[in-house]
Structure 1
Amino acid sequence: MNIGAIITQGPQPWQIIQQVEGKANISLKGTYDVHAHCEEARVWARVVLEDTFENVIRWQEATKMQDGEWEIILKEVPAGGLYRIETCLKENIGNPIEWAMRGDMIHHVGIGDLFVIAGQSNSAGYGKGPVFDPPELGIHLLRNSGQWDLASHPFNESTHTLHSINREGANPGHSPYLSFAKRLKRDLAYPIGLIQTALGGSLLSAWNPEEEGYLYHNMLEVIQSTTDKIKGVLWYQGCTDTDTLDLAHSYLERFKTMVQALRKDLNQPELPILTVQLNRVVNNLGNETAQNHSDEGWSMVREAQRQATMIIDNVYIIPSIDSTLSDAIHNASPANMVLGERTARLALEQLYDKGIEGTPPNLQSASLLDTGCIELTFAPVYERLESFDVAVSDLAFQIEDSIGKIELASYQLLGNRIQFKMSRKPEGDCYVSCGQGRFPRGVVPIDRGGQLPLLLFNKVKVNLYNK
């Protein structure tokens, strides 16, 4: 028989608790048992910094309930850790607390920020190839078993899973989000918790509660099993929705519906969503019609992802088009390290106001100048656009009008602008694209300041230039 203070409800070992304004409350409940009946028996609890044994929250007396039960809320525990939660049972008011009867403890608890991982395989993590990305204390993962643990790859492995709905068919690999969490922890100086809910190959319809929504409901269930608030969502999805033009065409509105539903269900109307614009796929569909449709689908989904950041508040995006692959469609382990770092920089700039240059250049306007050139303007550009001095034919841009494709004769970089001289005058409506299709060809310029490539865009209408 156990004696002393027993914890029956509280954080798990390794759990990260979401901080609010730099602190969080820790709720504990339990029972107590003594050798003999003792009216004076009282349960006490404290929080200790594991590194140094220093008190973070000094001993506090719990509320004594009926039938040998107790409860306590340890208030305003500061963001940080790792912490150890200790309890004890004082049988005699006069005894010093260091000699009180033993009590249960909870180890390796942190107060920090929680991010939910959602989407398909490149979010679940399928990177292959050796890379140095070891576990780190203070970066913890809620595994599919429902247990908090030290975060280590692969994130979406299914040992003792509680929810087979997002079980992978094969063992996953390297995730971009350990790298993400490490950068945040280094800059914020408190722990980061990751909640894995992604599934390789999943359609947006599985995440949209107004469609099938089964992965959406699983995500909600997993979140609510461990917290009532999160810091943000890490979203990388869209490849499967390129398969049909109907899905690609409706992607933006369906994504918007999912975001609105999640914010409502979590009661976080401004919940940040950190997204990744699709990279590429390298395969041969063997059918020209299917390949053309797939090319158009990939371009449409990338454009929808870009548009989402402009029409939905607190949705942000990083590019991935320069990422290497470890197979036909999955980002390689080294590429995941870069994508994790990029996502962290974006978060530090947009969510934490750290003054870091983390937002990629996005097309703001496309105009036909009086000179006959088409000018593209991008923002933010922290320094200047760089094309590596390649020939205009080696760039990833396309311009088309009512007649068809217009060959580009030359180009000029002017800070945050690119001007194109064309081989002929546009006829009718004119559209510009960058990085079209399943496997975009050509060089995508970068911002010399942030070292990020432009966000890809598809068939943006060119406007007349008005001074």
Structure 2
Amino acid sequence: MEIGNNRKHIFILSGQSNMAGRGGVTKTKQWDQIVPSECNPDPTRIHRLNANLEWEPAHEPLHADIDTNKTCGIGPGMSFANAIKETADQIGLVPCAVGGTAIKEWNRGSDLYENMIKRAKIASSKDGGEIKAVLWYQGESDTMALEDAESYKSKMEDLIRNVREDLDSPLLPVIQVAIVSGGDEKYLEKVREAQKSIDLPEVGCVDAAGLPLKEDNLHLTTEAQVKLGLMLAHTYILNFKSPNSFIPKR
């Protein structure tokens, strides 16, 4: 499906399961198919790049054909897109997140990294769209061991530099989410500190602390995912968009 020749802003959605979306996924690993109004599709304004590298109207679950080894539900992408859609003629979402992945699995040259870059390049070349930001929610898998937690900051900074270089966008905005859950509580705060102290320009951080978790104490609820999408939209518009843009309520 062609998005058309209108101005469209493209956003890369990447990381692990909380970006892919587990909101509404039940204990029996079924998605309840409940879509909050903030996540409703808008076929004329919001599109996503599917696994076949074609644009199509975006709808939940955004990552269903990307994070295929798990059941996907509500993530932050659709509420984000609906909150910012008045800032552009069209919004293009590029899902790339895969559950259970550590940051070392996103090193340049890895399948995950190269697929993300490939999808981003195709998304921007198909109709002349512009990549406006990378939304990154990952880190839970790096709370399992001290070594991984302590090396998170350097690995994340390398990832940002590599993405910007490979997409030929030296100041491409990156908005990361400071995690709220993980495998080992004693390393969770180390990863959070790393995420909030990235020392690169044009990097924002949204703190997920306080957002409700499902019974597994790992994944955000549907309500939390909707709120997170609005928080990401607020941060994007406030920090990386023109000062006259509408700022959505968080």
- TM-score, normalised to structure 2, is 0.86
Partner of 2:241: 352
Please state how far the C-alpha of 1:357 moved relative to its aligned partner: 11
Please state how far the C-alpha of 1:253 moved relative to its aligned partner: 0.3
C-alpha change, 1:338 and 1:112, in structure 2 (3 Å) is same
| Alignment match of 1:185 (pick from 73, 79, 85) | 85
| Alignment match of 1:148 (pick from 42, 47, 55) | 55
SS of 1:227's equivalent?
A: helix
| Fraction of identical pairs, as percent | 29
| Alignment match of 1:208 (pick from 107, 113, 120) | 107
User: Is contact 1:168–1:200 with CA below 8 Å preserved after alignment?
Assistant: no
Higher-helix-fraction structure: 2
Gaps of 5+ in 1: 1-11, 16-82, 84-108, 159-165, 284-293, 359-449, 452-467
- Whichever residue aligns with residue 202 of structure 1, its letter is T
Gaps of 5+ in 2: 25-31
User: Are 1:116 and 2:23 matched, yes or no?
Assistant: no
| Alignment match of 2:195 (pick from 292, 305, 314) | 305
C-alpha change, 1:113 and 1:356, in structure 2 (3 Å) is closer
User: Is contact 1:279–1:320 with CA below 8 Å preserved after alignment?
Assistant: yes
Partner of 2:208: 320
| Partner Cα distance (1:167, 1:174) in 2 | 13
Partner of 2:167: 266
User: Is contact 2:70–2:99 with CA below 8 Å preserved after alignment?
Assistant: no
| Partner Cα distance (1:296, 1:357) in 2 | 40
SS of 1:226's equivalent?
A: helix
- Whichever residue aligns with residue 201 of structure 1, its letter is G
Higher RCO, 1 vs 2 (CA within 8 Å, ≥6 residues apart): 2
- Whichever residue aligns with residue 118 of structure 1, its letter is S
Higher-strand-fraction structure: 1
Please state how far the C-alpha of 1:145 moved relative to its aligned partner: 2.4
User: Is contact 1:144–1:156 with CA below 8 Å preserved after alignment?
Assistant: no
SS of 2:61's equivalent?
A: coil
| Partner Cα distance (2:192, 2:245) in 1 | 25
Deviations 1:314-351 (A, max 9, x none): 11011111111234211111111111111001110111
RMSD of aligned Cα (Å):
2.1
Please state how far the C-alpha of 1:142 moved relative to its aligned partner: 0.5
| Alignment match of 2:122 (pick from 225, 232, 248) | 225
SS of 1:345's equivalent?
A: helix
| Partner Cα distance (2:246, 2:132) in 1 | 20
- TM-score, normalised to structure 1, is 0.47
Partner of 2:29: none
| Greater radius of gyration (CA) | 1
| Partner Cα distance (2:48, 2:245) in 1 | 26
Number of positions where the alignment pairs a residue of Structure 1 with one of Structure 2: 233
| Partner Cα distance (2:193, 2:224) in 1 | 22
